[in-house]
Structure 1
């Protein structure tokens, strides 16, 4: 008797649902993508109990005929591609023909669609078509999903609480709105508006509705391109940052994606202006020939493969470094507002403890909603500032040193208000630019070590000594092969300490062993930052008035005085108007 059998259609759809339908937000993603492919300009999403009670997606797109509506729920039925050539240059969001039958196999689905001629209604219960009839509706499509995972309890028990699932849905809709600002999106949670965008094709408007006015006023629209790629979007200045990468939103040809290599390129572009454990807020759309992109990697379509990604990385880093170097400004102290204005899903919504909320699907609770949302907001309130690069002498106004606090901070006064200066970070910046100028002078004197520096245990990369020296020559350093598994360094420039040289050489060799991409600019910045840190005044080290005055003078003379080489702010300001407000003058 044969053991191998062909699985029936319903069972294969349920298996596919394991990859396509992980949680309510995944269903909404698939349905909204279909709406966008149908050229909808307005999309409404309604959820009950985080999507476990009800999901409804309604659009004003092209709609479907009765025959197409029935065919859409058959596996591998799609209008998006017809041949292998189409698969190699996908421009639509959907193309696999798996989402609708997979969703219908694990839930109760009602679909109503009108193609502009007549409307039809279909009901499918866990993969079984129950009803197909004519129905009244304006042109477009509405799909309702209920009783999700009712017959797959193993999947149901892995769904988290209603609060969490709702937050993921909200995050998904906000990502769609940011990537498609020309489309109006509305999310209703328990019949109340949780989010709305207006389809004005204004990215700054959508950004404001997600992050609030405080962040949006410190943003910059950007655009850059080369032969293969064009990037555009909106970026917050470094003083607005997060503890994770969740606020780096990436799109390729308007499709939301996850691409760790590109996220890293963005973070690297911010690194000199932001601490290493913080991450920027960036929305970036990558425009590229579809033939360079493979989106057929996973049924969820989050992952992609991209040709010439190293060219894209270089474009991103150059763009961000250029913008941040020109547009940095002092970090202001802001006092907390009694009413939060920012909707930050991952930090505010998920981060706040909810002691009254039990992780049970059966007991839904209402999460944050907006009871009232105006039809429009004045554009001038939240447009990104057009920032003009400041002259060297205007980056920091003249300051009068007042005193030192706790052996850590210098207090100084200017016309704008009170300046609180981190003495270690400030001196790091001063020393960094000093060493940078030294390094640019390739005629710096060198000295031979009394005892040459030997680096052992490097046999795997001994044969790459010439490649390694190409990186090191900029620092007036050169390695020689020493035996079978070691290098030797015989001299160093006078401006680099021996201890720092050893750490730097090991870091470079580690990168070669790990096959990591080595950017000379990153290496240069790392060694200079290490030098600056070791030679700077420490916390709890008291300074005289003359020393503090001289440090402040040198900081004002720096090209980039606002951050230390590691990205931390060198100072913060408390403006006069803030003090007047707080003291109720």
Structure 2
């Protein structure tokens, strides 16, 4: 078959397959054009998820009739003033969007520049059908109707109207987040679903487009490294989601979904979140245009960096530094559903007159024997030894926690962010009084994080103290597991686990970390071997040892159901206040929550 030149109509449809695969892609191109036109207000109207109708109206610079005709031709653009395509600063510059959309839908383009007359041009699946004057204010209005109506092979692959609507909203939110100086409104089937004003600061715009609670549970990021700037907001590890759709990444103001950036984000939260949980972030990376290529994807959703390692290291290091600076901070409020579950106990009716005949008033209750306060100021005991000491009340029932006779003044709560321990609930939760509210701590989750941070210090060069076993214990495993343990024996020794090969299918455990106390060596070593095997192909040894450390921390932490006395509770609280990341456990769940005094008073009808 001889080579032939494709007709213009077919060329436009091929281009449409690259940049307009669904309504959300068409909407993205139209909103980007509105932003590049210098708009301060952009209105979007959608019907049936954008399948039957898409309309974008802006107050930008507008176009003349001649410019509108050129805009509907392929590779015609006003966004490249010269041939330096690598220095482009606008969102779109290929000049394919409008002719591609017009080739697979009915497109109505209306525009008027400052001081000029309005003009209207209608293109129905590639053919101009109407052209003439139009009455409208300065700016541009683009209407797309019946997308893919004459291309049934493409239309049948569209999803339901609800799914397409969700994709359209995601596009608008990302573009609105990138430009907090522009106001956006969105209407779907005649109902307004989004309205954000212009001239907002970045945090306010991100919170308005995600969730209002993000503002109180986020950390600001502001980092410069040479000509590269990283800014934005990231959520606390305890404020996370089950899907990664709430991660908004921008390069030079352009929303992207880049593998390098997503991988760096995952690395920054590596040991702070479970693998099936994801943080909520909005990161804005600004780099010189010569250091990034934005023209590697037709939809410009991926970029290529000249120095990817610099970018990855900046994101991982910057985010970890920001998280480290916030120490033990956690989500500051319990869930609204949890607050709603509190109920007031019914009050029994009281007699209105004296005592009944034949009865005498009950004796007054005896003076309280115990004071719900700390009997001693926190001592600098080794925390592992404090936790390892069993209390004489461990088997007593049904008392879950005990306080002791106050022999010294109770410390002031305002001196400690996590307050002073007042008691224990269900032998699992520590109740403490802080200056501004009631703090509830999950003792197992909190101690698990403390142990992990101590083990991590061992991995960074500060060897973890170990305790030798009086009788070394032999653990039998299969030969590949023993091979993996033997290969990692020197690194495990830094964590306090001393093992050596004992035949082809066994290892001998000579010492365990002192902070873990008396533990089941068989189970510990078996779990370590499983961790080394489970991620053998995907992770390096240092990353696998992070998982090993998390497993060891779980083995050596204070269990739920363990009765603690007040000094032990306060020792845990004081250790949490000086330990990084103690606000969340190794799986990303909060280790403590705070109930503000205002909420407590509301529960009792005082407010």
Q: Secondary structure at the match of 1:81?
A: coil
The counterpart of 2:89, out of the listed 84, 88, 91, is: 91
Aligned residues of 2:107 and 2:124 also touching (Cα < 8 A) = yes
Q: CA deviation at 1:96?
A: 1.8
Aligned residues of 1:427 and 1:537 also touching (Cα < 8 A) = yes
Q: CA deviation at 1:489?
A: 9.7
The RMSD of aligned alpha carbons is 3.9
Q: CA deviation at 1:154?
A: 2.6
Distance 1:74 1:12 in 2: 11
Distance 1:178 1:140 in 2: 22
The counterpart of 2:107, out of the listed 106, 109, 126, is: 109
Is 1:260–2:279 an aligned residue pair? no
Q: CA deviation at 1:106?
A: 0.9
Distance 1:143 1:187 in 2: 14
Q: CA deviation at 1:134?
A: 3.5
The counterpart of 2:599, out of the listed 575, 578, 582, is: 578
Q: Residues 400-415 of structure 1 correspond to what in structure 2 (within 5 A)?
A: 400-401=422-423, 403-405=424-426, 408-412=428-432
Distance 1:267 1:176 in 2: 23
In structure 2, do the counterparts of structure 1 residues 476 and 214 end up closer, same or farther at CA, with 3 Å as the change threshold? closer
The counterpart of 1:526, out of the listed 506, 528, 547, is: 547
Distance 1:392 1:236 in 2: 26
The counterpart of 1:556, out of the listed 569, 574, 584, is: 574
Mark the runs of 5 or more structure 1 residues left unpaired by the alignment: 340-390
The counterpart of 1:495, out of the listed 513, 516, 534, is: 513
- Could you give the per-residue CA deviations for residues 145-195 of structure 1, whole angstroms, max 9, x where no partner exists? 112211112322333333332232222212111101122222222344321
In structure 2, do the counterparts of structure 1 residues 397 and 11 end up closer, same or farther at CA, with 3 Å as the change threshold? same
Aligned residues of 1:23 and 1:159 also touching (Cα < 8 A) = yes
Aligned residues of 1:476 and 1:493 also touching (Cα < 8 A) = yes
TM-score (norm 1): 0.76
- Could you give the per-residue CA deviations for residues 338-386 of structure 1, whole angstroms, max 9, x where no partner exists? 99xxxxxxxxxxxxxxxxxxxxxxxxxxxxxxxxxxxxxxxxxxxxxxx
Distance 2:540 2:303 in 1: 20
Q: Secondary structure at the match of 1:263?
A: helix
Q: Secondary structure at the match of 1:199?
A: coil
Comparing 431-440 with 61-70, which one deviates more in the overlay? 431-440
- Could you give the per-residue CA deviations for residues 74-123 of structure 1, whole angstroms, max 9, x where no partner exists? 2222233377x523333221122221111001111111122333432211
Comparing 550-559 with 490-499, which one deviates more in the overlay? 490-499
Mark the runs of 5 or more structure 2 residues left unpaired by the alignment: 341-412, 515-520
Aligned residues of 1:478 and 1:489 also touching (Cα < 8 A) = no
The counterpart of 1:426, out of the listed 424, 446, 468, is: 446
Aligned residues of 1:257 and 1:304 also touching (Cα < 8 A) = yes
Is 1:566–2:587 an aligned residue pair? yes
Q: CA deviation at 1:479?
A: 12
Aligned residues of 1:446 and 1:491 also touching (Cα < 8 A) = no
Aligned residues of 1:250 and 1:256 also touching (Cα < 8 A) = yes
Q: Residues 76-225 of structure 1 correspond to what in structure 2 (within 5 A)?
A: 76-81=75-80, 86-116=84-114, 117-225=116-224
Aligned residues of 2:107 and 2:144 also touching (Cα < 8 A) = yes
Is 1:66–2:84 an aligned residue pair? no
Distance 2:279 2:464 in 1: 38
Comparing 423-432 with 252-261, which one deviates more in the overlay? 423-432
Aligned residues of 2:173 and 2:209 also touching (Cα < 8 A) = yes
- Could you give the per-residue CA deviations for residues 18-57 of structure 1, whole angstroms, max 9, x where no partner exists? 2311222211100111122222222221222322232111
Distance 1:148 1:435 in 2: 58
Aligned residues of 1:106 and 1:148 also touching (Cα < 8 A) = yes
Q: Secondary structure at the match of 2:84?
A: helix
Distance 1:293 1:469 in 2: 43
Q: Secondary structure at the match of 2:513?
A: coil
Structure of higher CA gyration radius: 2
